[in-house]
Structures are given as C-alpha cells and as structure tokens.
Amino acid sequence: MELRVLNYFLAIAREENFTKAAHMLHVTQPTLSRQIADLEQELGVKLFVRSNHNIILTEDGMILKRRAQEILSLADKTKRDFLQKDNTLSGTISIGSGEFLSTKCLAEIIAAFKKKYPHVKYEIYSGNANNIRDYIERGFLDIGLMLEPVDIRKYNFVNMPIKEQWGVFVPSNSELSEKKSIRPEDLAGMSVITATGDFNQSLIGKWLGEYSEQVDIAATGNLLYNEAMLAEENIGYILGIKLNCTYDNLRFIPLYPALESSTVLAWKKEQIFSATTSSFINFTEQYLKSISRDKI
C-alpha cells in the first residue's frame, strides 16, 4: 500500500467523482481507476459504490478513509521532523491542550521559545485528556496539556503552576444565580452539562457523592463555548473549570466544598523526538523552574 495511492483514494472520496479527482491529481482517469482497483484487490474489499452520477464510500471505504488520513498525517509529520536536522531550529511542534487557565502559561512558554527560535511553528489541538493521550500514543501529538493524574509508567511530565477551579456556570436568570457557592444538594433534581466520560467516577461525580444519582445529565461536551450555547438556552447548568472568558448570560459560581485540579504538560516516555521538540521540552522544564506561581 503506497502513500501515493492513499492520496488518490482520499481525493476520490472527497470529490465523489473519478473524473474530477483525476483532473485535480493531474493523472488520467484510467490510471486512477486502475490504481483503485489494485488497492481494492490488495485489501480484498470494495471501497466505493459506483453510479452514473457519483460514487459513495462503502463501510470498508469509510474505515480506510479514516485510517488513510491518519497514515498520511503521520507520514507528513515524520517528514517534517527529519527536515529539522540543521543548526537552526525550525519545523513544527504538535501540542494538545484542554481548556484550562494554565493554557495561558503554555502560551507564555511558546511565546518565550518563539523569541529564541522564531522559525519554529506550532500545531495546537484542542481536546479532552482521552483524545490527547490517544493522539500522543499514535504519534500525532508530541506533547499534551492535561489534568492530573497521568500514568507515570507511560509519561514524563512537568507540573503547571496554576490550580484549576471547578464550579457551575448558571444562566443569570436562574434560581442559583444569586448563590456565592454551589453545594452538592443544590444540584439535586437539576439538569447539568458536563464533560464526556464516566460521570460517577469523575472528580465531579465524587464531589456530588450521594447526590450524583439525583442529577440529570442533559448533555456532555468538551468545549466550553459549545456548552455555553446550550446553557444559555436553559438546557442545563455547566459543571466545569473557570476560564479567562465570560459569557453575557452566564455566571460562574465556585463549588463548596471547593474542588481544584492540577494540570501537567506530558510527553511519552522513551520517545525519540526531533531536535526542535526536545529543545522545547528542555526549555519548558527550565522555564517552569524559573518562575513562581505569583508571576503567572
């Protein structure tokens, strides 16, 4: 299976037409058709269902599309890493991050590193801890900013100096909006919006304790902006982390007893990084040693 043929396959899947794909790829349609036929024979599956007007992916075709995108992305990243082998650091560092107050500290580290190495570029992927860990394992991300705990058997990491405060985002016209803090019993019988994952085993689920069974999970998500749109329509209260942003119709109220989390910048153990990524990791470790929490 050649990378060139996977590129051909993705072009056809995108255009839904062999003629258009062949024109875009600057190859003849018979050549393109033959390459796909050979690919189908190699894999032993049918990738497209053809009609007079267009083509659509089969179930096997959809699986290959996802895998092909991952393979080509990893191949491109590998190529970039090898091209960085010169005296001037350049290339791209791939970083995954959740939505945290400590993201500001990460941005400061990147800004300081960029002053020293202006040719380095950055790919920032937003996701939750599960997404980021998965992408690190598969080689699509170099580093990830995520909540503790992390598996110390798999990852090296540095602690970020900012604590993340948990609370509830409530509409300004809700019955909870005048409270100074939210207790577990305040949410009994209420609809909430929370992060994806095992709710009962999460920090919030444990904080709710006996009241966790009395909370209705109306929706789950991993980006506050999307959750905020739901909360403003009174679909539920958001259980989440305080961020450096505000929404006109929502108010953040901290939890009581207070609930805080720590974040870490983590990378895979025994991973061989490009010179640029290795330098960034070393720079980050030194940067965080040189500052105090009061300076963030």
The tens digit of pLDDT for each residue in 137-192 reads 888 899 999 998 888 888 999 999 999 999 999 999 998 999 999 999 999 999 99
- According to the model, what pLDDT value does residue 167 have? 96
- According to the model, what pLDDT value does residue 153 have? 85
Specify the long-range contacts of residues 248-251, CB closer than 8 Å, at least 24 apart. 249/171, 249/172, 249/173, 250/169, 250/170, 250/171, 250/172, 251/169, 251/170, 251/171, 251/172, 251/177
Residue 15, pLDDT above cutoff 80: yes
User: Among all chains, which residue has been given the structure tokens 């290959």?
Assistant: 64
Query: Band of the pLDDT at 198, cuts 50, 70, 90?
Result: low
- According to the model, what pLDDT value does residue 81 have? 65
> How is the chain split into domains, by residue range?
3-81, 87-162+262-295, 164-260
Instruction: Mean pLDDT check: name the lowest of 188-202, 253-267, 270-284.
Output: 188-202
Residue 293, pLDDT above cutoff 60: no
- According to the model, what pLDDT value does residue 292 have? 55
Beta bridge partners of 122: 93
Token pair for 33:
């058709």
Q: CATH top-level class for 164-260?
A: alpha beta
Please give the CATH number for the structural domain made up of 3-81: 1.10.10.10
- According to the model, what pLDDT value does residue 112 have? 95
CA nearest to 24, candidates 16, 37, 33, 15? 15
Q: How far apart are CA 45 and CA 48, in angstroms?
A: 9
Query: Band of the pLDDT at 75, cuts 50, 70, 90?
Result: confident
Q: How far apart are CA 51 and CA 32, in angstroms?
A: 17
Say yes or no: do domains 87-162+262-295 and 164-260 share a fold: yes
Q: Would strands 120-126 and 250-254 be described as parallel, antiparallel, or unpaired?
A: unpaired
Provide mean pLDDT across the span 23-32: 86
- 93, amino acid identity: I
Overall size of the chain counted in residues: 296
Q: How far apart are CA 265 and CA 263, in angstroms?
A: 7
- According to the model, what pLDDT value does residue 132 have? 92
Residue 120, pLDDT above cutoff 60: yes
* pLDDT cut 90: percent of the chain above it: 50
- Contact at 8 Å (CB) between 166 and 241? yes
Q: What is the pLDDT of residues 28-72, one digit of tens each?
A: 888 888 888 888 889 889 988 877 677 888 888 888 988 888 888
Q: How far apart are CA 53 and CA 44, in angstroms?
A: 25
CB count in 10 Å sphere of residue 196: 13
Q: How far apart are CA 224 and CA 103, in angstroms?
A: 14
Provide the whole-model pTM: 0.69
- For residues 266, 196, 259, 189, the Cα torsion angle rounded to the nearest 10 degrees is 180
At the topology level of CATH, where does 87-162+262-295 sit? D-Maltodextrin-Binding Protein; domain 2 (3.40.190)
